Structure 1
Amino acid sequence: MDLEQVTLTQLRYAVAVEQTRSFRTAAERCHVSQSGLSMQVQKLEELLGTVLFDRSKKPVLVTEEGARAIAQMREILRETERLGQIVAGDDAPAGRYRLGIIPTLAPTVLPLFLDPFVKAHPRVELFIEELKTEEIIERLAADTLDAGLAATPLHAPGLSETPLGHEAMVAYLPEGDPLLDRKTVTQANLSDRELWVLPEGHCFRSQVLSYCRSGQARPPRGVQLESGSFETLIGLVDTGLGATVLPALVAQGLPPDKRRDRVRPLARPIPLREIGLVTSRTQLRRRVTESLAAAIREHLGRALGPSPPGGSVLDPLLPEG
């Protein structure tokens, strides 16, 4: 075993293969040729005197010895990053920052803060990915994300959560629906309705079904729809087929006449989606995280206004059944 010749680049390549389970995908992520990455990983294995990956399997599998070694490689890379921050001795947020965001927040929340944050912190390199909540939790645990913007609380072991705002839910109804004559729509009004909801795996689906006290979705006319787009659900309701529940920011983006004629607030206790920034408790990019949280909180607050009184935060991870 000759550790003197081991390089940080080799460690990064090995960690990338472990994350992606593919030498080709790892090479694309590291912006190098597959042959170059493979050669460096093989050299690393020779220096360590152990086989890290079972290349005969597709996807590539990590060996038992490799799993232990790669866990230590992650620690080395984390501490190296920390060393760079200490040496820099600069309080200004800087460096690469990997942010995951759930698909139901990306279209409405990202445009609120992204431009002002980038202008205020030009030394931060943001890498943003749309990920489902379970993927964010897994990636934070694997140290392949610095933070996740998601519906909280998640109560995930080893993670910290910073609440940033509360978004009300509203009913979106078809033209001529009797509920449009009401000022507010109640839980009871929706509990026996056929609703369009997002597919399984989306937290907003769980929250809507929880509010409607329905263990299973009841799609209009028995049509099973797999679409993660609120625009699609809105379009279906516009045809007169069923109703749906929307986040307030999505409803705000509708034309004024649609907001007036088709959207109705939900009665107290108003169901709320808590929007939070989730990080690992051992995360090292604290300066960037704090600046990012402050920016999101400020601009989200302007868009949403104060939290409605009598609101109730819904659990985003309730199981269906």
Structure 2
Amino acid sequence: MDLSGLTLTQLRYLLAVDEHRSFRGAAESCHVSQPALSMQIRRLEEILGVRLFDRETSPVVTTDVGTRVVTQARLVLRECARFPDVAQSFDMVSGSYRLGVIPTLARTLIPRLVTSFTKAYPRVHLVIEELPTDLLVRRLLEDTMDGGLAVTPLGIPAIHERHLGFERFFVYLSPKHALTKLTEIRQSDLVEYKPWLLSEEHCFRTQILHLCSVDMRPEPADGGIRFEAGSLDTLVDIVDTGHGLTLLPELVAARIAPERKSQLRPFAPPVPVRRISLIHSRQQERRPLTDALLSTLSERLPASLRRRATDAVIPPTLPAPRRKR
């Protein structure tokens, strides 16, 4: 098969028709005339010797072989988009870098990164987006995100995890809670209590449920009320009103107001921790820039997070898959 006449423009037109299910809609999205687009699609069909679309239906239907060609075309165009990164290999610590951060790390890590990183690498345009773990991983696998800050281990073969530090868990209690009489909390102390939780898209929720031995069923945390928050700050505010308890990661606990510090309790050994990592696809082209991010964050993290977790418990980051009944 002679592919010398195949062009990237033909592949882009192919994807446009597959997406819009219409030659007219595809032509409008590509800003070309419909006859010009149709001619290129027919030329592509002649080169490949197959029929890519059923033009007799409305909307247009991609044939079975056409669907496979569309998948391959998407891969070809995605790899071609990497050429700018390859061309910048002489100075890879420059250009645009898309960084995803899970919500429970964004407020505590990003302020530590932004000033130092932009000062050290002024030629980098850092685009930061707050994303839940599952969406962050999907974006990395789809190559629409270059790197991410997340809690690991994730156990995903295509994702590389580069360890940054271990963040301890603390228990945050309402002022008159029964557990305030304890100076340290054991996991067994939490079994009879229902903690206030983040909503389901947060991996921190899974870790709290595991540490407190709480069933995944949505039961009220206090006084018949069930509330699932979008931020840890909201959970702190609820506890401050005199209701129940919640768990906080170390950097969030450090921001608690001085007059409320007496409501925090550390865990007795083995201390629960969460492992913070910089994650990226194993086939990533921006490795020097990722190295620069890792180095900057490592320098800016408190020394307490850089300790080795020799006597610690790391709860699961992702919920276990549900069994089919």
Fold shared, TM-score > 0.5 on shorter chain: yes
Cα distance in 2, alignment partners of residues 80 and 291 from structure 1: 23
The one-letter code sitting in structure 1 at the alignment partner of 2:256 is L
Cα distance in 1, alignment partners of residues 71 and 185 from structure 2: 53
TM-score, structure 2 as length reference: 0.79
After superposing the two structures, state which structure 1 stretch, 152-161 or 219-228, moved more.
Answer: 219-228
The one-letter code sitting in structure 1 at the alignment partner of 2:253 is A
Q: Structure 1 75/247 Cα, relative in aligned 2: closer, same or farther at 3 Å?
A: farther
What is the CA deviation profile of residues 108-147 of structure 1, one whole-angstrom value per residue up to 9, with x for unaligned ones?
1111112211121111121221111111121111111111
Matches within 5 A, 1:51-90: 65-66=66-67, 68-81=69-82, 83-90=83-90
The one-letter code sitting in structure 2 at the alignment partner of 1:169 is F
Q: Structure 1 vs Structure 2: percent identity of aligned residues? A: 33
1:287 is aligned to 2:292: no
Are 2:117 and 2:293, in contact at CA under 8 Å, matched by a contact in 1? yes
> C-alpha displacement at 1:66, in angstroms?
4.7
TM-score, structure 1 as length reference: 0.80
Are 2:197 and 2:228, in contact at CA under 8 Å, matched by a contact in 1? no
The one-letter code sitting in structure 2 at the alignment partner of 1:239 is T
1:3 is aligned to 2:23: no
Q: Structure 1 40/184 Cα, relative in aligned 2: closer, same or farther at 3 Å?
A: farther
Pick the structure with greater CA Rg. 2
After superposing the two structures, state which structure 1 stretch, 34-43 or 289-298, moved more.
Answer: 34-43
Cα distance in 2, alignment partners of residues 157 and 320 from structure 1: 17
What is the CA deviation profile of residues 77-134 of structure 1, one whole-angstrom value per residue up to 9, with x for unaligned ones?
43552x4344445245112211111111111111111221112111112122111111
Q: Structure 1 176/88 Cα, relative in aligned 2: closer, same or farther at 3 Å?
A: closer
Matches within 5 A, 1:179-194: 179-194=179-194
Cα distance in 2, alignment partners of residues 62 and 122 from structure 1: 46
The one-letter code sitting in structure 2 at the alignment partner of 1:317 is L
Q: Number of residues paired by the alignment?
A: 300
Are 1:167 and 1:307, in contact at CA under 8 Å, matched by a contact in 2? no
Which of 240, 247, 250 aligns to 2:249? It is 247
Q: Structure 1 5/109 Cα, relative in aligned 2: closer, same or farther at 3 Å?
A: closer
Q: Where in structure 1 are there 5+ consecutive unaligned residues?
A: 24-33
Cα distance in 2, alignment partners of residues 71 and 157 from structure 1: 22
After superposing the two structures, state which structure 1 stretch, 183-192 or 305-314, moved more.
Answer: 305-314
Q: Where in structure 2 are there 5+ consecutive unaligned residues?
A: 46-51
Q: Structure 1 103/68 Cα, relative in aligned 2: closer, same or farther at 3 Å?
A: farther
> C-alpha displacement at 1:39, in angstroms?
3.3
CA RMSD of aligned residues (A): 3.5
Matches within 5 A, 1:128-277: 128-216=128-216, 218=219, 219-259=221-261, 261-277=262-278
> C-alpha displacement at 1:149, in angstroms?
1.0
Are 2:180 and 2:263, in contact at CA under 8 Å, matched by a contact in 1? yes
Q: Structure 1 94/55 Cα, relative in aligned 2: closer, same or farther at 3 Å?
A: farther
